[in-house]
Amino acid sequence: MASGIPNAMERPHFIGIGGAGMSGIAKILAQRGAKVAGSDAKESATADALRALGATVHIGHAAEHLADDASCVVVSSAIRADNPELARAAELGVPVVHRSDALAALMRTSRTIAVAGTHGKTTTTSMLAVALTELGLDPSYAIGGDLAGPGTNARHGDGDLFVAEADESDRSFQKYDPDVAIVLNVELDHHANYASMEEIYESFEAFVAKIPAGGTLVVGEHAGARELAARVSGRPDLTVVTVGEDEGADVRIRSITPHGMTSEVTVVLPDAAGEITFTVSVPGRHYAHNAAAALAAGVRLGLDPAGLAHALTAYTGVGRRLQLKGEAKGVQVIDSYAHHPTEMTADLEAMRAAAGDRRLLVVFQPHLFSRTQELGTEMGQALALADASVVLDIYPAREDPIPGVTSAMITDAAQAAGARVTAVHDKASVPDVVAGMAAPGDLVLTMGAGDVTDLGPRILARLSD
């Protein structure tokens, strides 16, 4: 491994280089001196950021985009087998490396924290990245979203710490062997890859099994996370640290006091560390829990608790996690990545508390046919927390349609739960629809994992007309 570049990754080619996970690895390799190239479906700010680091980014997928001297081709689980660049790699005999293997290789020489869980991974990883940077530790990090401060999802640092988001969706997190692993929660999701809750537990158990002797597992108070802790409790060389509001938690959250769009959190740490109070600069109990888990992980790596807690205050958010997009005519527009019912409920409850007497209007775009088929009813029920909602058609991402599965499953469930909900099939008309609904003082929340995020600026522009 020369200059921190893993063997065979000196001249990598990324198929889908603009994706959140792929672009992070590409950025780190470029910063370490690799000759990075790749392709993506369309132009984006991420493509421009990669070019600024010296990477070659092609738009569209074509066999000729793969250079003859490429040392490997990096792919994610979203890349289809008939991709022309993948076919060209086979012709040339260029090794194909999965994104998770590439990230595992980048982390191998560092002390690592890997953050896993059905929800909250990006936020918690981001909190750690910001706090460790604030402490002057110059960490490396790879995250599924752009930090509000640095404006990037990944960075190569000269320090010995590496913080990474560990994705369970395709079992790729089983490739990592972190010194400290955080598991925030364990729920049934990613229905195309997991047939049952038992399969989910088995996947998380395989992830935990990769923690080396003497390592630490930090678990949140979610029932699924605690069940996972019980399943691995027989391992004598693993320290399990529980975090939560329950009296028996090793790191106990004694209080969470909301203050508009922030919260004051008091945490009781074990041993002589005592009680620490700090500010979390995003609203909602779930974000306070994420911060407490980040604190617990850092302390296990030997960081000063008070210093780390103060540094966590510097976290001001990550793109698409209750991100304020702007205000027009007295209406604030906020963007949320929430797409699973648990995430939707948590963000809606947080915004409900922040809104006070103001109205909360939601523009929701379901993500994936398989997820909607399994959880559409619960999605609709979550929307009952809003004063009114607009529901778009399903964003397919990598999936083909499933007969009979449409966003009507969600609107029907929402109406049955007493919600005011409107189905809008033409995404381009949403700004006009919202402008007709919103009044000064309202909060508008665009929500979903697809391209609904594009609507925030358009809604603001329409409100300004």
Active site residues: 121-122, 165
- Candidates 461, 430, 456; CA nearest to 443 is 456
DSSP codes, 285-317: HHHHHHHHHHHHHHHHTT--HHHHHHHHTT---
Q: Check if the beta carbon of residue 361 is closer than 8 Å to that of residue 388.
A: yes
Pairing of strands 274-280, 262-269: antiparallel
C-alpha–C-alpha distance, residues 151 and 141, integer Å: 13
395's CB contacts (< 8 A; 6+ apart) are: 365, 366, 367, 368, 448, 449, 450, 451, 452
C-alpha–C-alpha distance, residues 333 and 454, integer Å: 12
How buried is 264 (Cβ within 10 angstroms: 0-12 exposed, 13-18 middle, 19+ buried)? middle
DSSP codes, 225-241: HHHHHHHTTT-TT-EEE
Cα 381–chain centre separation:
23
274 labelled ligand-binding: no
C-alpha–C-alpha distance, residues 166 and 138, integer Å: 20
Query: Token pair of 119, please?
Result: 């929800």
- Candidates 168, 54, 188, 159; CA nearest to 100 is 168
260 labelled ligand-binding: no
220 labelled ligand-binding: no
427 labelled ligand-binding: no
117 labelled ligand-binding: yes
Q: Check if the beta carbon of residue 231 is closer than 8 Å to that of residue 205.
A: yes
121 labelled ligand-binding: yes
DSSP codes, 419-449: --EEE---GGGHHHHHHHH--TT-EEEEE-S
DSSP codes, 268-290: EETTTTEEEEEEESS-SHHHHHH
**430 φ, ψ to 5°?**
-60, -45
9's CB contacts (< 8 A; 6+ apart) are: 29, 34, 71, 72, 74, 97, 102, 105
**33 φ, ψ to 5°?**
105, 5
C-alpha–C-alpha distance, residues 17 and 50, integer Å: 9
Binding-site members for ATP are 117-123
Binding-site members are 117-123
